[in-house]
Amino acid sequence: MIPTPRPPLQWSVVIPAYNEARRVPSYLEEVAAYFEGRGEPHEIIVVDDGSADDTAGAALAVAESHPAIRVLRREVNEGKGGAVRRGMLAARGACRLFTDADGSTPIAELKRLEPHLLVGADVVIGSRGLPDPAVAVVARPHRVLAGRLFTRLVALAGLGGIADTQCGFKVFTAAAAERLFRLLVTTGFAFDVELLLRARAAGLRVVEVPVNWTHRPGSKVGVLRDGPAMLREIVKARRTVRRSP
């Protein structure tokens, strides 16, 4: 018997998760309800990046009610960049979004990014740094200051003109995702910088769009703890991209 072909997927949503058993179920429900309401073929991929808690089990429990959800498990924690890369390369959608498991950016903010894909953008990134009276960004003061400093540093690395490289809400066409993530080598939190450097080097059209964003307790990124490592990753990413053919 010839199997029935699966319908083409319009959207893939990749959610990297590390020790997110408590937070991932509510955001998964939000994402699933949003896309089910749109009525378009979609998939939601949770990448459990070697969690010490039962992140995978929590995601699978939600998947029982939402068949579009699947879970990829990594035995060892590699880092957010590695988790997003795995999810993006496993995705099948024509449009591919990655978003943070804490739900700091509501999934409905996709409506702000999507129109730019429709008119020719290859990559559209959510931003907490662009001023817009229609959006609200709720962040701790020390993180705002750290973000401004980080933006200046990445500008020196070759990303001038981008107000926020680190917002975890970015969408790619399938072609752009395949091209960029196959080359990605940064596995830590600075992977966004390498992606955007590669996008610019490849001449892809990148658009930055303000989004609503709210700080959630339990962030995996510490300004003092992870800052030095991120700076090293930026320097390494810039060198890697410059040496790439």
CA 38 to chain centre: 21
- Strand pairing report for 95-99 and 11-17: parallel
Reported as a pLDDT band with limits 50, 70 and 90, residue 7 is low
Q: CA–CA separation, 102 vs 26, rounded Å?
A: 9
Q: Does residue 133 sit within a domain?
A: yes
Model confidence over 51-106: pLDDT tens digits? 999 999 999 999 999 999 999 999 999 999 999 999 999 999 999 999 999 999 99
Reported as a pLDDT band with limits 50, 70 and 90, residue 154 is confident
Q: Does residue 222 sit within a domain?
A: yes
Residue 3 has pLDDT above 70, yes or no: no
Rounded percentage of the chain residues whose pLDDT exceeds 70 = 90
**Residue 138: count of CB within 10 angstroms of its CB:** 11
Model confidence over 175-186: pLDDT tens digits? 999 999 999 999
CATH code, domain with 54: 3.90.550.10
Q: Does residue 1 sit within a domain?
A: no
Domain extent, residue 227, equals 11-243
Q: Provide the 8-state DSSP code for 108.
A: G
Q: What's the chain's average pLDDT?
A: 90
pTM over 0.85: yes
Exposed e or buried b per residue across 83-112, where buried means at least 16 C-beta atoms within 10 angstroms of its C-beta: bbbbbbeebebbbbbbbbbbbbbbbebbeb
Q: CA–CA separation, 104 vs 138, rounded Å?
A: 9
Strand partners for 74:
49
Residue 224 has pLDDT above 60, yes or no: no
Number of domains in the chain: 1
